[in-house]
């Protein structure tokens, strides 16, 4: 079945550091890929998405590129802020199936 | 557009009781999914409803049930509560017709504590 594997957290970075959170997936066909973010005490918010190979999703300085050859969708940001502290979830949805498979989440803590 | 709303936001129940949680999706969204989130198990899919029909179901016991109304609002019910049911219950809605991808929009969740 479909699955998503994320790097274990927590990830602790200093403000303005470069962020990478690794995500790889297993799915049949060509899924859509997503990154969601969950701030403390809140539900999940869609951060960015990519629907086909080589697409780059971007939002709020975060980027992720759909790499079919490596089945990856790594999240990056050039300069993190304290306000980016949250839990980040990688997810996929197989084409034609109205179901989302989530990774286990990676907690990011940014310190001043 | 108003986002996904969930009521109540917080709930405290005793073992053995039953509970009903409510979710109102974004206007125009006909698919509603429910998730249980705990520190130990992470985000686990409960079930998904579309046009008042359960379309997908996760691996949870029959004590967990749900339904969807004609206005797309959804409720989930947990009977005979156990301590392990303490969790954040998240509802998500999706636009299906005409959507290029199946992204979900989440509500703030209902924090259930079972004592």
Cβ neighbors of A104 (< 8 A, separation 6 or more) are: A6, B42, B43
Cβ–Cβ under 8 Å, residues A31 and B95? no
Q: How far is A111 from chain B (nearest CA, A)?
A: 23
Average per-residue pLDDT for chain B? 92
pLDDT at residue A96, rounded to an integer? 66
| A6: β partners | A23
pLDDT band at B99 (very low <50, low <70, confident <90, very high): low
Which of A27, A44, A49, A107 is the best mutation test for B, with the most CBs of B within 10 A? A44
Write out pLDDT tens, residues A69-96. 999 999 999 999 999 999 999 999 877 6
**Separation between Cα atoms, residue A111 and residue A21, nearest integer Å:** 17
Contacts of B95 in chain A (CB under 8 A): none
* pLDDT(B56) > 90: no
pLDDT at residue A28, rounded to an integer? 82
Cβ neighbors of B60 (< 8 A, separation 6 or more) are: B36, B44, B46, B47
Determine contact: B50 vs chain A, CB below 8 A.
yes
């Amino acid at each position: 079945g479909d699955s998503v594997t994320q790097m274990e957290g927590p990830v602790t970075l200093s403000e303005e550091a470069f962020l990478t959170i690794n995500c790889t997936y297993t799915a049949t066909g060509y899924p859509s890929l997503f990154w969601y973010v969950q701030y403390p005490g809140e539900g999940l918010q869609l951060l960015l998405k990519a629907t086909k190979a080589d697409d780059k999703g971007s939002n709020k300085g975060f980027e992720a590129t759909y790499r079919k050859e490596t089945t990856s969708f790594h999240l990056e940001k050039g300069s993190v802020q304290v306000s980016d502290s949250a839990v980040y979830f990688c997810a996929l949805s197989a084409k034609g199936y109205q179901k989302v498979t989530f990774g286990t989440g990676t907690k990011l803590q940014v310190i001043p | 557009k108003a986002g996904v709303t969930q009521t109540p936001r917080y709930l405290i129940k005793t073992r053995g009781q039953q509970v009903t949680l409510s979710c109102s999706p974004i206007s125009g969204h006909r698919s509603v999914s429910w998730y249980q989130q705990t520190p130990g198990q992470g985000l686990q899919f409960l079930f998904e409803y579309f046009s008042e029909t359960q379309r997908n179901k996760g691996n949870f016991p029959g004590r967990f049930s749900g339904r969807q109304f004609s206005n797309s609002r959804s409720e989930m019910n947990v009977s005979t509560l156990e301590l392990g049911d303490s969790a954040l219950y998240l509802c998500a809605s999706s636009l299906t017709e005409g959507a290029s991808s199946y992204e979900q929009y989440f509500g703030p969740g209902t924090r259930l504590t079972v004592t």
